[in-house]
Structures are given as C-alpha cells and as structure tokens.
Amino acid sequence: MRGERRVSANAAALPPYERPSWAERLGAFQLGQPELRAFPVSTWSRLVGRYSRNVPVRALQYGDAFGLVALREAIAAYLRTSRGVRCDAGQVFIVSGSQQALDLSARVLLDAGDPAWVEEPGYWLVHHVLEAQGCRIVAVPVDNEGLNVAAGTKRAAKARVAFVAPSHQSPLGVTMSASRRLELLDWARRAGAWIVEDDWDSEYRYDAKPIASLQGLDRNARVVYTGTFSKVMFPSLRLGYAVVPPDLVERFAAMRRAMDLCPPYLAQAPMADFLAAGHFARHLRRMRPIYARRRRLLVDAIAREIGAEVVGDAAGMHVAMFLDRCRSDVDLAARALERGVQVSPLSASYLGKPRQGLVLGFGNTPESAIAPAVRKLAEALEPA
Amino acid sequence: MRGERRVSANAAALPPYERPSWAERLGAFQLGQPELRAFPVSTWSRLVGRYSRNVPVRALQYGDAFGLVALREAIAAYLRTSRGVRCDAGQVFIVSGSQQALDLSARVLLDAGDPAWVEEPGYWLVHHVLEAQGCRIVAVPVDNEGLNVAAGTKRAAKARVAFVAPSHQSPLGVTMSASRRLELLDWARRAGAWIVEDDWDSEYRYDAKPIASLQGLDRNARVVYTGTFSKVMFPSLRLGYAVVPPDLVERFAAMRRAMDLCPPYLAQAPMADFLAAGHFARHLRRMRPIYARRRRLLVDAIAREIGAEVVGDAAGMHVAMFLDRCRSDVDLAARALERGVQVSPLSASYLGKPRQGLVLGFGNTPESAIAPAVRKLAEALEPA
C-alpha cells in the first residue's frame, strides 16, 4: 500500500469508532436499552411471516423515497393523537431510526461551516452528525427548563439549526418549559432558522400531564420532528420517522434518494399493521407500569444508598445525577463496571467544561437487580 | 410560514425528486427490474419466519456499524470465489444497497469541491451522490474498452476518486478491458486517488469467460468494492455491501455510525442463511438461462425490426443502442411509452454533449412480450 491515503476532512474529524460496550456485555443501568424480554415477539413475528409469505410482486420492487404509504399514515395518525404533531402522511418520511433522521435533516438544512445549536450537555451522536457534515457546533447550556435560548442567542444568534430534545432531554432528562418552547420558536422565526426536534424517548411519561411536541406549537413550519421505534419496539428493527415542513418535503426526498433510495419493505408492512391493529398502544400500556416501577425503585435506592438527587425522572428510561464533588466520573464508571454495573459518566456528554455525574438507564434492569446494583455503585463511589 | 426558508447548497443543487416511473406502472424494457415472479418467495419467507420467531434477545439490540458477522462472512466467501475479490469478512460492511455504499464512500473519501471521475455516459445516481456532497464531477468518456483513463488524466489528473462499473457499465454495458484496468489502478497509485468499483450487475454473464473484479487486481488497496442484492434477490430487500481497504475500515465505521448506526437484523440473518445454504447460487443458476433467452430474443428482434446494433449484451439485464440519427431520444421514449413500451433515453445519462440512443432492460419482460414490444418501438421510431 503505497502513496497518499487521504480521507475527507469530515471523516478524519469524526471520533474513533469503538466496538459498542453493549456488544460485549449488558450490565445494570446500560443506557438506551429497552426491556426486550417483554417485547411481544410472537405477535410481531406473526405479522412478519404474514407479509413475507404473501408478498405482492409490487412490494419486492424499489419503493419511493418516502416509504410505505400505509406506515406513513399509521405514524401520522399516531403522532397527531399521541404527540400533538400537526401533520399529514405526506410529510412523513420513513427512515432507519433517529440517527438517519438527524443526518438527513443536517444534510438538507446545513452547509459546511454553518453554526448549529446543540444542547450542552447533549446527545453524542448529534455531535457526530454535525462533525460528519463539517458544521460549527455551538453548545448551548441546558438548565432545569431545557435549552437556554437567551444563552444560545448570545453565542450564535444566526445559527441555522437548533437540535433539541424538548420532551426528554439526553442526558439530563429535562422537559423543556412552555415559555422556553415559545422563546425557541420565536428565535427560529426571527433568525430564519430551523429546529430539529428529536423526540426519541417521550412515549413513557410517569407524571400526570402529557407533554405535546414542540412541532405542534409551531405556527411557522420551522420544525423537523424526528422519532424512532427503537425504544418501544426494538433497536435492531431500524425504523424511525421524520415529519418535515410541507415546503421542504421535496428536497428531503431528493436528498434521501441520493443517500439510500428508500426504506426496506420487510419491516414496514408489519410495523404499519402493528400500529393500526393496536398492538403498539397495547405494548406501551403494558410497559409503562413496568418502567414506572423500575424508575421508582432506582430513585429510592439512589436516595437511600448514595444520597444524591436524581434529575430527569419524569419520563423515559434513564435518570441522571450530578456528583459535583466527584473527581472523575469516568474513573467512577470504570470502578462501577468492575462491579458489574454499567453506568455512563455525565462528563462525556459535554463539549465544553463538564460537570461530573452519572447517567443510568433502567430500561432493561430487572426490579430485583436494581437495589443490589445501586449498592455496588455506592461502594464504587468510595475510592479504595 | 414567514421568514427565510433556506436549505443547504448541496440540497438545493440536487435534481428534482419525481415519483419514480415504476411506481406508476411497469412496461416492457423498464430498467433495473429483475424477474421478481421467479424469486423463490417461499424459501425466503421460510427463512425470514425462522429468524423472526426464534430471535435471540441479543439480536433485538443495536448491532455494530459493520453488520451481522454471519452475513459478512457469507458475503466475503461469495465475493472471493465468484468475483475474485481479495478480502476477509473484517473488510465487509453491510449497507442498504449500492446507493448507500456509494454515499458512504463519497463521504469518507471526498471533501466538498474535490474532483471525482465519473463515467460518461454514466449512472445518474452516482451524480446525485456527488452533488449531495458538493464535489466537482469530472465526466470521463467511456469507449468500447470502458473508462478512457488517458482522457480522465487529461481532464483532472488529480481527481481524488474514480467511480467506475468495470464489470458491466451503466448504461452502455461495456466490460472494461484488462489493459484499461491496469492503467486505472496505476493512475490511482500515482495520484494517491481511490477507486470506487460499483459491481452492481455482474452476476449474470452470457459469454464463456468470467470477468473478475477490479479490486482483485489491485495491489495497493486503493479500491472500495460495492455491490447489491437488489438485482439477484429483490430491490425492496435493501441489502448491499462495501468491501473496504483494511486501513480505511475504522473511518468507514465511524462515518456509517454517524449516518444511521447499523443495518437492521430482520433481513440480515435470513440473507446469511440464503447464501450459506446455497439458495443464492441455485437461484443464480436458475435465472441465468432465463435472462440469456430474453437477451437473445431482444437482440435478435432489434436487429430484425430496427436494424440497430446493440451494445453491452455480454452481461447483466440491459442493453443499449446508439441512434445517432434520432433527433430526440427523449421524444422517442415518450412515443414508445404511449405504446406501452418503457425504454430509457440514452442522452439522459450524459453530463456533457449527449449521444442519442436507448437503454432497454430485459429483466422483467417475459419472452412472449419481447418481439411485440420491439415492433411497437420500431413504430415509435418513425415520427408521425
């Protein structure tokens, strides 16, 4: 292998690829893992079997860039009623998950060098999307009302896009307040900017009041709404969606076609049926009390064993805690891992000066494992 | 909807998205369509059913960016023996088809503004990949030996990447000669450039001698080899592969993760089995004589009814013909469509000054339909 072996600047800038930790093993509190043992595999596989046995020749062909009409309609109906998203099926793109929705949005909305707001701390794979695109990442602090719009305006008033997860922020779990939502929409309108709403983890809420999407509040069609079936169904399904302002639909289709033509048929048809026949709603109803109990046990155990206050427990499948007196949450997570507990260091979610803390997923940690794992974590907190 | 509504320069530059013609109807000679009525749906759906009923919890989780190990191994074995590709499974990425392989390659290998060689005439969706990336497209003429490397060197000796389909060029169907292959590899070595080999349609060859891949000739690890299951299996499967030089594997994984994390499990496991159990080889053996007969009937009918010489009929599922005295092949194709014949104008495959002609797929046109459709095409050739 002789000669220059140059890759693109964007490829060179991406962080190293490492084999994901969950590929090696799953411990208590691993992030982003739903309770897969409770997924109704037999119902799902019955639908998969039905659509793969009786597949019309037409469904073996290429599809269009948008995805299967039946699935787009089922998703539009679900998002209108459950998430207050204002859309019809014509605005819905079937994608392979939130990640492709974010990447597609970045490619349609951002030029290289453009400033884009991200939440600080925030979701690491949003950073990757922007690095892959050569954009200027503007870290905007998140407080207990969500993204601080005034701080963002001060840092980069002319950002082209704001990436936010207003329903359940990653990693802090904050729900963005109503006034901040209006402030953000107002900024976007005045700046001529776009908002990419990453609604990745809002299906499970544990307090009384449901929180509608930011997209539903928007009167200027400035929000691209994205979501995924990875958390309610299962991650290897690789199905998600983007809901796009009507005047952007055609450009999103052109870009999506250039990226990978169209989504696969095999999973779309059973997914449409799973939604339309009520299996999805039923599975949500069944899982909510399971996750609610795990969350309660986790929050109680942390209060008892560690004495720390937990944030972000109103929704989703993870909680966070600040540990400002901890010297290194990375070391702490490594000590916990030695004890079989797979917590994530909060500092890893910061682009700038980090706070120390931990993020704990409770999706796939059984009830009986929670208190013992928190005790092990408490041991890990005291350095040897 | 008030205010500025700007999209990225790359998104703005992409050609309009139109609903694909085959979504409306399929006529005789539609390009890129295999004979789906002969696909062994029952064998395939049995495998799909097996892997969706007995799915290990682990397989419901996120995968890694490379794809399923069993499928990567089956593909590596297939490509080594059938295509002369020099690789092990560690270099194989499972992607959603050729298009994602091309897009992934462009994002890893090319910066905005970089010159890249494409074949002239060439595959329209390669142009889209490069436009989506803001690259400078350098059209390099194809003659009866394939890409004219000397002409390319004259136009842009310092191009970063050459996109070629040496086994069966799109649209002319040329097979690149051995001397041109060596010339291209030599240019890449000296220029420090990469070659993306799009081996999209080489499974069906009708002459005696099999043609190995360009990648297999390369001694400097400068070739990214890409292929798809869309043509032998079925397009809506959305499975393809990229074989990447060893020192680029990690950067490809980082970029692929940023794009959409990992491929879906549902189709990968049955595909691995379909290959390993010999169903794929069996299906190829069964289809080759079917396509060979259609090709023979088509070439004969064109000679008889139109008197034109056909090019590119040594392999694949399409042929081309030049019609230099035709005033507009676009008008001709429209007249043919009125008669139910879905030919593609050759001029649409040129970036610069086009030659007039037609491209005809014979994949999904039944034997009995071929002669009548060519007669209709001959009628369309005489302007009213």
Which of A131, A234, A257 minimises the CB distance to B128? A257
The mean predicted confidence, pLDDT, of chain A is: 94
Average pLDDT over residues A341-354: 96
DSSP letters along A314-358, please? TBTTEEEEE-TT-S-HHHHHHHHHHTTB--EEGGGG-SSSPPPEE
For A41, A42, A312, B45, the CA distances from A54, given in Å and listed in that order, are: 20, 18, 45, 9
Angstroms from A268 CA to nearest CA on chain B? 11
pLDDT of residue A58: 86
Beta A194-198 vs A223-228: how paired, if at all? parallel
With cut-offs at 50, 70 and 90, classify the pLDDT of residue A1: low
pLDDT of residue A203: 86
CA dist B241 and B68 (Å) reads 12
pLDDT digits (tens, 9 = 90+) for A266-310: 999 999 999 999 999 999 999 999 999 999 999 999 999 999 989
User: What DSSP character marks residue B341?
Assistant: B
The verdict on a CB contact (< 8 Å) between B236 and A60 is yes
The verdict on a CB contact (< 8 Å) between B236 and A59 is yes
With cut-offs at 50, 70 and 90, classify the pLDDT of residue A383: low
Percent of chain A at pLDDT exceeding 70? 98
CA dist B53 and B46 (Å) reads 11
Contacts of A52 in chain B (CB under 8 A): 41, 44-45, 48-49
pLDDT of residue B3: 72
For A62, A94, B10, B36, B159, the CA distances from B234, given in Å and listed in that order, are: 8, 19, 31, 7, 34
Nearest CA in chain B to A37: B57
pLDDT of residue B21: 75
CA dist A255 and B12 (Å) reads 9
CB atoms within 10 A of CB B176: 24
The verdict on a CB contact (< 8 Å) between B258 and A100 is no
Q: Output the pTM of the full model.
A: 0.97
End-to-end CA distance of chain A: give it in Å, rounded: 49
**Residue in B107, B163, B256 to test binding to A, most A beta-carbons within 10 Å:** B107
ipTM of the complex: 0.97
Nearest CA in chain A to B269: A236
- Gyration radius from chain A CA atoms: 21
Angstroms from B383 CA to nearest CA on chain A? 33
CA dist B305 and B381 (Å) reads 10
Q: Is B70 exposed, middle or buried (0-12, 13-18, 19+ CB in 10 A)?
A: middle
**Residue in A45, A260, A268 to test binding to B, most B beta-carbons within 10 Å:** A260
Does residue A384 register a pLDDT over 60?
Answer: no
Q: What is the pLDDT along chain B (384 residues), one digit of tens a residue?
A: 557 899 999 999 999 999 887 766 778 999 989 999 999 999 999 999 999 988 888 899 999 999 999 999 999 999 999 999 999 999 999 999 999 999 999 999 999 999 999 999 999 999 999 999 999 999 999 999 999 999 999 999 999 999 999 999 999 999 999 999 999 999 999 999 999 999 988 889 987 677 899 999 999 999 999 999 999 999 999 999 999 999 999 999 999 999 999 999 999 999 999 999 999 999 999 999 999 999 999 999 999 999 998 999 989 999 999 999 999 999 999 999 999 999 999 999 999 999 999 999 999 999 999 999 999 999 999 765
pLDDT of residue B290: 97
**Residue in B60, B94, B274 to test binding to A, most A beta-carbons within 10 Å:** B60
End-to-end CA distance of chain B: give it in Å, rounded: 48
CA dist A108 and B13 (Å) reads 11
Coil, strand or helix at A198: strand
Amino acid A383 reads P
